[in-house]
Amino acid sequence: MNEVLIIGTVALDTIETPFGKVYKTLGGSATYASFAASFFSKPALISVVGNDFPKGHIKLMKRRVDLDGLKIVGKTFQWEGFYEYDMNEAKTRKTELNSLENFKVEVPKKYKSIKHVFLANIDPEQQLETLRQMNKPEFIVLDTMNFWINNKKNALMDVIKKVDVLLLNDGEARQLFNTLNLVNAASRALKLGPMAVIIKKGEHGALLFTKNRHFNAPGYPLEKIVDPTGCGDSFGGAFIGYIAKTKDLSEKNFRKAIVYGSVIASYNAEGFGLNRLMGIKLKDIEGRYKEFHDIREF
């Protein structure tokens, strides 16, 4: 039985960073999120790719992710982005929605009772439709990005009201709640319904806000960041993967899940695409998790 359902994009990404460029490499929010979740739980994925999507990618993903919810039609979603020396901010050159544009979500019957759902970055109307087709999930996490804040804000606000945890990066939180102050953005997000809001601050860590408490996870001090693409998605995937494994929705456990999210995201940034995540083992994850303890002890 799969333990986490992830809906999001599966993409061919063209990425340029100060350390190199890759063309049409395997990417997408659901791809990163499901790989990250697979270190802790069994993920199932809902998305769409085109007939141009390499069979090798499907084979590789199938080793870790249930792909019965992956449709193949038309042309694959493509994203092209670049980073300058501030590696915290991806700049989009091109977004080609292709088969994502007319993607009608159909949750396979065997996924409908999965208790943990990650609405990774995708059209908020497709996120809402996924929830409509599920049988009462127990825990829902939502991620998004500026593209959807700009284009589908109303639908996005509707999804926020239905989820338990909202993930945003700092820029998106400011944009969505029209404020420069992150504490203010988080408290406005909490008023919409989620029990927790997590604001990701790239290499500077992540902030957790709940009604009465606040936690600040440091970023892992990486000496070389090669490609941060997918760090937000892998953070989210690891977060929900760990929650699904432990089945503990306490604030204390959210803190641990955030540190696991930060660990996986830090590995992800060490290579282009999924290269680095494909090479790590549980002992690497636990090693860095222990270092996090040390970093924040005083």
Q: Which residues bind ligand AMP (CB under 6 A)?
A: 9, 11, 13, 27-29, 79, 90, 95, 121-122, 145, 147, 229-233
What one-character DSSP code corresponds to residue 98?
Answer: G
Taking CB atoms, the residue at the shortest distance from ligand AMP is 27
Which tokens in the block code for residue 291? 């270092």
Shortest distance, CB of residue 247 to ligand AMP, whole angstroms? 26
Residue 172 identity (one-letter amino acid):
E
Shortest distance, CB of residue 200 to ligand AMP, whole angstroms? 9
d(CA 40, CA 42): 7
Instruction: For ligand AMP, give the closer residue by CB, 128 or 249.
Output: 128
Are the beta carbons of 259 and 284 closer than 8 angstroms? no
Rounded to 5°, the CA angle 108-110-116 comes to 95
Which burial class, exposed, middle or buried, applies to 262 when counting CB atoms under 10 A from its CB (0-12, 13-18, 19+)? buried
Are the beta carbons of 98 and 50 closer than 8 angstroms? yes
Shortest distance, CB of residue 199 to ligand AMP, whole angstroms? 14
Instruction: For ligand AMP, give the closer residue by CB, 242 or 296.
Output: 242
Instruction: For ligand AMP, give the closer residue by CB, 121 or 262.
Output: 121
d(CA 173, CA 181): 9
Instruction: For ligand AMP, give the closer residue by CB, 145 or 198.
Output: 145
Shortest distance, CB of residue 161 to ligand AMP, whole angstroms? 21
Shortest distance, CB of residue 72 to ligand AMP, whole angstroms? 17
Long-range contacts of 200-204 (CB under 8 A, 24+ apart): 200/167, 200/168, 200/169, 200/170, 200/231, 200/232, 200/235, 201/88, 201/169, 201/170, 202/87, 202/88, 202/89, 202/169, 202/170, 202/228, 202/231, 203/87, 203/88, 203/228, 203/269, 204/88
Shortest distance, CB of residue 294 to ligand AMP, whole angstroms? 27
What one-character DSSP code corresponds to residue 204?
Answer: G
Shortest distance, CB of residue 256 to ligand AMP, whole angstroms? 21
Instruction: For ligand AMP, give the closer residue by CB, 14 or 41.
Output: 14
Instruction: For ligand AMP, give the closer residue by CB, 19 or 287.
Output: 19
Instruction: For ligand AMP, give the closer residue by CB, 232 or 261.
Output: 232
What one-character DSSP code corresponds to residue 164?
Answer: S
